[in-house]
Amino acid sequence: MKASATQITSMKFVLVGMAFLCCALLAGCKDSSEERAAAESQCQQVASSLTGFRPAAPAGGDSTVGKGAAVGAVGGAAVGAATAKKGKTTKKAVQGAAVGAAAGAGVAALSDSEKKKAAAELKAAYDREYKNCLQDKGY
């Protein structure tokens, strides 16, 4: 059974149409992923500008407990030495340093806790804005 010229032309037309459709679909996927990446980038900028949060450099990560303890120890030692009676200066300075270090570390720990809480709230706000932006763009 031989195919007629009309059948061959029809098959060529179908094959060319299918090839065109495949190319269009593949190009559409590429454009869609590029458009999504552009939308994500734009939404990151929008969310950052609205909230002040920068995902590349999140706030609240560094602890200040060690610094607080050191400052407290120095201050406590100075107060202890200044208020000591003659002959008891060293003992009072050491006691003052210990109390000052504990107090300084405690205050710094509270401060760190507040900073971490604020940073978490800021990140949550950023995430909401980012998500809303993407939804507005249809993603």
Q: Write down the pTM of the prediction.
A: 0.55
* Dist CA 70 CA 75 (whole Å): 9
Tally the residues of the chain: 139
Whether the Cβ atoms of residue 44 and residue 80 lie closer than 8 Å to each other: no
* Dist CA 118 CA 56 (whole Å): 17
Count of beta carbons in the 10 Å neighbourhood of residue 101: 20
Tens place of pLDDT per residue across the chain (139 aa):
566 556 556 555 544 455 555 445 555 444 588 999 999 999 999 999 999 988 887 665 677 888 877 887 788 778 877 887 877 778 877 887 788 778 888 888 888 888 889 888 999 999 999 999 999 999 8
Report how many helices (DSSP H) and strands (DSSP E) the chain contains, helices first. Answer: 3, 0
Place of tokens 């200044």: 82
